[in-house]
Structure 1
Amino acid sequence: MPLQDTDFAIVGAGILGLSHAYAAARRGLRVSVFERSATPLGASVRNFGQALVTGQPPGPMLAMARDSREIWARWAQGAGFHLRRNGSLLFARTRAEEELLEAFCEVRAPEYGYRVELLRGSRLLDLYRGQFSHHRAVLHGVDDQQLYSREAIPALVEYLQSEHSVEFHFSTLVRDVEPGRLHTTFGSCRAEQILVCSGHDYQTLLAEQIAPLQPQVCRLQMLRVRPEQDFGLAHAVLTGLSCVHYGAFADLPEAEAIREQIQNQQPELEEHGIHLLVSPTPHGELIIGDSHHYGSDASPFNAEAVDDIMLDLAEHTLGTRLQVLERWQGVYGSRGPGPFSVLRVAPGVTAVLMHTGVGMSVGPALAERAVATLLG
């Protein structure tokens, strides 16, 4: 059957593609999504499913994370997937990490309206019946959310199909795009607007226009584990190591002491870009990681030593032994000129790229802004 003409043609069924599909469809437009694989397999299903507000720097990223939070709630209710809305826990294991969290709560949080609370003493002891009493403090990021991507993304596809009449073409490679027309392995069709949301693939489409951004690919080592002691973890977990990676904290003066601590005591963490993230699944398991290795391509080879470092960090942070069930590579586009790029490459042809691993956190609101701009 020939492809049908459409108002919006979207290349890529990851979170950016699906977010743009929703933003266009809810405005009453005909939307078609094209995905080269039989099901989404990129960053949106390989990574943690953490939609963090607390970690975003003040400004547009924080605003989009807040707006995205409400969109995720709407999607979870409509599509019926599991969404944890009880926030994240960021643990301070050293005095330097605790001092940074104190400074954040005293200065930045009230200035920019981050909804956080710092738990110490008896409140820390009461958390999960004392499971985290070996830490100095914990920052509870109230607005942070977490979902199980492997189930949530397919559920969102089904929701867009059934409730918003979005047409999906899986196992369909888009070979070329031009103003008003899109060419695939199953034929061509017309489209008023074409949006290319193809993740870390910088070669198949619009390679010449993307090349000046000098983007790279970030590869992450990831694990799914079962805790020996199941204490019912229901929050996303981070440590003070994340404070030197996330913009909400990284430019505070107190972050420098953490960087020095890493360089002097655990330089391997900096070498492999390791900072601990833990995401509980709805099935009593945990997804843990992550490491960061950058390049023009993602190497297929994992280092067991990197997994060992992350497992040791996770076991110490969680206070329990972990059994590895599965290992894989996460991947996302990274290191462009900013956290994201929206390129109007030709009339009616736009590329949207993330240059950092926070597509889940800001993607839904970024799409709302991009579609509103395209529609004038």
Structure 2
Amino acid sequence: MNTKYDLIVIGSGALGTFHAYHALQNGLSVALIEKDKQPVSATVRNFGQVVPSGMDTKWQNYGRESLKVYNDIQNKFDISVRNNGSIYLASNQEEVQLIEELSIINKNNGYESHLLTKEQCLDKYPGLRADYVHAGLFFPEEVTVEPRVMISRLLQFLTSEKGLQYYPNTKVVRCEAWGDNEVEVETAGGAIFKGAKVLLCCGSEFKTLYPDVFANSDLEVTKLQMLQTRPQPGYELKGSILTGLSIRRYEAFYECPSFDAIKAKENADSFEKKWGVHILFKQAADGSMIIGDSHEYADAANIDDLGFDLRTDVDEFMIDEAKKIFNLPTYEIQNRWFGMYSQCKENDIFQHTVDNNIHIVTGIGGKGMTGSAGFSKENIKQLFNLS
């Protein structure tokens, strides 16, 4: 190819595509290369909850920037953003204490949240069980998206409106620096792409292109199970619903003064601990309810150890726990699936530079849908020394 791009991005999931978006916003020329017809991994297999509230202070800031990006794009092009807020439902007094402490932290951070009484929660969320909820913490700025719709429409927006050069069904087999200011990328079809910089955001191609770096990384893979009910007749549940087990798991609550003492009391041998279960609800655009999820872990090099089966005991446990929280019109399940994402054991994201102009960025973990848009804005500025 005769074109030399300012940036070549490999991997069109949320992390790669939002890097492409911010590069384009800064006037750079961008080629985005995707090995599949469309993204098929972590970006399209999650809840579609954009919840900065669940993150530590550093990533909450990225998430809050992401909210601005999502809303700005939505105002120009429908990418399925729904502004309907998030709530954490406390099921006992320990969890009430944690949400009260988090509300103080958020006040100090300038992030809007509202404590709701039991009665206010019951009034706001139909079907919520009175014998479960004690109080809630509501975040009005947070949004939901339909993951598969969002990434597809975002790519459509960037190609039709922003000048992105997008190459799906294109497998990269070589990525090599030429001199001080050029990188050459070769595809399985023999095409050559040239760019000033390459950003590699795809775990599988990271493993293929740089096996030694991959083998020495601290990446691990998480497998999550999720379920989808049939559409709920005549029923609407707005926003992201996070419950007591989420309060006991999400990083934001680690900063609460009482968190360590409350966690120390938990039964380390419980089923929810063994399988990393916390119960989430989100109603999809078709009226169905997404319920989950669970967490199993393996080193990235041993991803096959996680298998490809769905554990019926995990699904049954999640359904039983969900029924303790909401009386839905139906719990008939129409779809079950698992997703996988990579994360770092010691760091919050994996970043590595090869030959000055080849940058590997992956392992964003469960923060991808919420944090990618904000993180990539800052990262593009750093990579290109932009003000």
TM-score range (shorter-chain normalised) is over 0.9
1:25 corresponding residue in structure 2:
24
Shift of 1:233: 0.6
Gaps of 5+ in 1: none
Q: Evaluate the alpha carbon distance shift between residue 202 and residue 301 of structure 1 in structure 2; reply closer, same or farther with a 3 A threshold.
A: farther
- 1:218 aligns with one of 215, 222, 238: 222
2:93 corresponding residue in structure 1:
95
- 2:207 aligns with one of 200, 203, 206: 203
What one-letter code is carried by the residue in structure 2 that aligns with 1:154? S
Q: Partners in 1 of 2:219 and 2:46 — Cα distance?
A: 19
1:240 corresponding residue in structure 2:
244
2:42 corresponding residue in structure 1:
43
Is residue 315 of structure 2 the alignment partner of residue 307 of structure 1?
yes
Count of residues in Structure 1 that have an aligned counterpart in Structure 2: 372
2:67 corresponding residue in structure 1:
69
Contact preservation (8 Å) 1:84, 1:234? no
Q: Partners in 2 of 1:130 and 1:301 — Cα distance?
A: 32
Contact preservation (8 Å) 1:50, 1:236? yes
Contact preservation (8 Å) 1:216, 1:333? yes
Contact preservation (8 Å) 2:206, 2:360? no
Q: CA RMSD in A?
A: 2.0
What one-letter code is carried by the residue in structure 1 that aligns with 2:380? V
The percentage of aligned residue pairs carrying the same residue is 28
Q: Evaluate the alpha carbon distance shift between residue 94 and residue 122 of structure 1 in structure 2; reply closer, same or farther with a 3 A threshold.
A: closer
Shift of 1:94: 1.7
Q: Partners in 1 of 2:2 and 2:316 — Cα distance?
A: 49
1:290 corresponding residue in structure 2:
293
Q: Partners in 2 of 1:278 and 1:128 — Cα distance?
A: 12
User: 2:38 is paired with a residue of what secondary structure?
Assistant: coil
Contact preservation (8 Å) 1:223, 1:328? yes
User: 1:357 is paired with a residue of what secondary structure?
Assistant: helix
Q: Partners in 1 of 2:361 and 2:157 — Cα distance?
A: 23
- 1:347 aligns with one of 356, 364, 373: 356
User: 2:372 is paired with a residue of what secondary structure?
Assistant: helix
What one-letter code is carried by the residue in structure 2 that aligns with 1:196? L
Q: Deviations over 1:144-187 (max 9, x none)?
A: 21100111110011001001111111111111211211111122
Q: Evaluate the alpha carbon distance shift between residue 230 and residue 92 of structure 1 in structure 2; reply closer, same or farther with a 3 A threshold.
A: farther
Q: Partners in 1 of 2:318 and 2:231 — Cα distance?
A: 14
- 1:144 aligns with one of 142, 145, 158: 142
User: 1:83 is paired with a residue of what secondary structure?
Assistant: coil
Superposed, 1:255-294 pairs within 5 Å as 255-256=259-260, 258-260=262-264, 262-263=266-267, 267-294=270-297
TM-score, normalised by the number of residues in structure 1: 0.93
Shift of 1:242: 1.2
TM-score, normalised by the number of residues in structure 2: 0.90
What one-letter code is carried by the residue in structure 2 that aligns with 1:21? A
Runs of at least 4 residues off by over 4 Å: 227-230
Q: Partners in 1 of 2:321 and 2:66 — Cα distance?
A: 30
User: 1:220 is paired with a residue of what secondary structure?
Assistant: strand
Shift of 1:258: 4.7
Contact preservation (8 Å) 2:343, 2:350? no
Contact preservation (8 Å) 2:127, 2:326? no
Q: Partners in 2 of 1:263 and 1:147 — Cα distance?
A: 34
Is residue 374 of structure 2 the alignment partner of residue 371 of structure 1?
no
Q: Deviations over 1:229-274 (max 9, x none)?
A: 643011111112112322210242433465356417x700000000
Q: Partners in 2 of 1:78 and 1:136 — Cα distance?
A: 40
Gaps of 5+ in 2: 178-182
